[in-house]
Amino acid sequence: MRGADITPRPRRSGRECGLSRSGPATWLVVGGATIIAAAALLWTLRTGFQQPLIALVFGVVIACGELSRITLPGNREIAPIATAGGIGYTFLTVVGGQAAEHSVPQVIAVTTLGLVLGELPYIAISRQPRYVDLARRLLLVALLAVLFRPLVPYLGVDPPNWWLTLTAMAVLLVITWTLDFMGAAWVRAQRLRTRYGAALADEWTAHSVIGVAIGSSGILIALASSVMGVTAVLVFLIPLLVTQVAFRRFAEIRRTYLQTVRALSRVTEVGGYVDHGHSRRVSQLARSLGRELGLREGQLLELEYASLMHDIGQLSLRDPVPQGATVFAPPGEQRRIAELGSAVIRETGVLDAVAELVRRQCEPPEGVGDGPPPLGSRIIKVANAFDDLLGQEPDASRVDAVVDRIRMDSGSEYDPRVVAALARLREQERL
């Protein structure tokens, strides 16, 4: 690299990059849900519960579903059974031949009580609820109730117009799920400081499959209850329970896989090839840069894997790079380390895309014979250089000096888009 000499020095641990914060969207969602829930509870307590036995059954189902909630990859919390129970209660028109008479406020009140009861065991063991996810579950049912319950008299009850009822259920469910996705993306974009379009696409990918299962279960519960009564709740929640177990196992496998990669990335630190915490810091900065550049969640996961293992090729070196700072190694040596690391990763047989990111991490923006390297590789190169150059005292003046140093080689060594993203992170005081 050209310009002033900025030599690497031992670093103190504890610096974090790209910390997420709650934005106005979170407060709006949680505040709106709180007001709606309080108003519905007061109204229902004042007017009394209609058909209390049915309300009790659905309230218990919602509480049990909230108690058995799961966390999907991407740190998304969902409660499929609780949500399906709330949807089913909203869509009830006939229960065992008797017209369902509950109002919109009662739907919201029963859902609120069920969700709160399901949260109490977690609160008892000092696990705070994720209020925004809890609020979204309530708002989904509340909006659906506001749209559907006023239509019940026009759909017919004795006998019901099944085709019209089913069409109304499906259409309104699509509308409410779409609005929920948009709201979830808004919250996520502000919390992770990423682009709204990328967050929206990620939410759709994460929730579309399980959303279809939840919505279908809710509709089936409502339709079957007209003949089977409240026993339909238990019958039609069984398939959803099986689906939830499968999603839980998938999430656990994903977490275990990431933990394994993180443990593997520490081998270079334990062996003294790189500075302590280097791989973790590069990974954190790379993810922040990726979000700033609008990468999707799947791309960010591959970027995290690659940035955690970007220095693993140093294990094959006879003489370690001084302090592990590959940014000061000759270009040929950098590419050889990257090639060695890529070969190790390819041995897994399942991380070819990650291996390619590692292989091309040391190339200039225009590439070396194979065209421009992937964006993830260009991000890793900037993140690695930043961490290698920062040194022991990551104070404001040194951070500014390192950013300026990298900016000097923008276009020749580093991708200008990535360098510009790094500068924006610095301007936002996220470095």
Q: Read off the pLDDT of each residue in 201-218 and give the average, rounded to a whole number.
A: 89
CA 332 to chain centre: 38
Which pLDDT does position 127 carry in this prediction?
Answer: 87
Range of 316-325, 362-371, 402-411 with top mean pLDDT: 402-411
Q: Is 20 exposed, middle or buried (0-12, 13-18, 19+ CB in 10 A)?
A: middle
Are 311 and 327 in contact by the 8 Å Cβ rule? The answer is no
Enumerate the H helices of 92-161 as residue ranges: 104-124, 131-148, 152-155
- Which pair of tokens denotes residue 277? 């915490």
The per-residue pLDDT for range 158-179, each reduced to its tens digit, is 666 788 889 999 999 999 999 9
Q: Which CATH number applies to 266-427? A: 1.10.3210.10
Which pLDDT does position 322 carry in this prediction?
Answer: 67
Q: Read off the pLDDT of each residue in 178-199 and give the average, rounded to a whole number.
A: 91
Q: Which amino acid is located at 190 in the chain?
A: Q
Check pLDDT > 70 for residue 243. yes
The per-residue pLDDT for range 72-85, each reduced to its tens digit, is 877 888 999 999 99
Closest CA to 421 of 359, 375, 390, 389: 375
The per-residue pLDDT for range 100-133, each reduced to its tens digit, is 889 999 999 999 999 999 999 999 988 888 899 9
The per-residue pLDDT for range 325-355, each reduced to its tens digit, is 778 788 888 888 899 889 888 887 778 899 9
CATH 1.10.3210.10 domain extents, the chain: 266-427
Q: Read off the pLDDT of each residue in 9-38 and give the average, rounded to a whole number.
A: 70
Mean pLDDT value across the chain: 86
The CA distance from 398 to 406, in Å, is 12
Task: State percent of the chain over pLDDT 70.
Answer: 92
- CA 411, 416, 419: angle at the middle one, nearest 5? 120
pLDDT band per the 50, 70, 90 thresholds, residue 8: very low
Check pLDDT > 80 for residue 18. no
The per-residue pLDDT for range 384-410, each reduced to its tens digit, is 999 988 866 677 888 999 999 999 999
| 240 or 376: which leads in pLDDT | 376
Task: State percent of the chain over pLDDT 90.
Answer: 49
Closest CA to 139 of 238, 31, 273: 31
Tell me if residue 393 falls in helix, strand or coil: coil
CA 115 to chain centre: 22
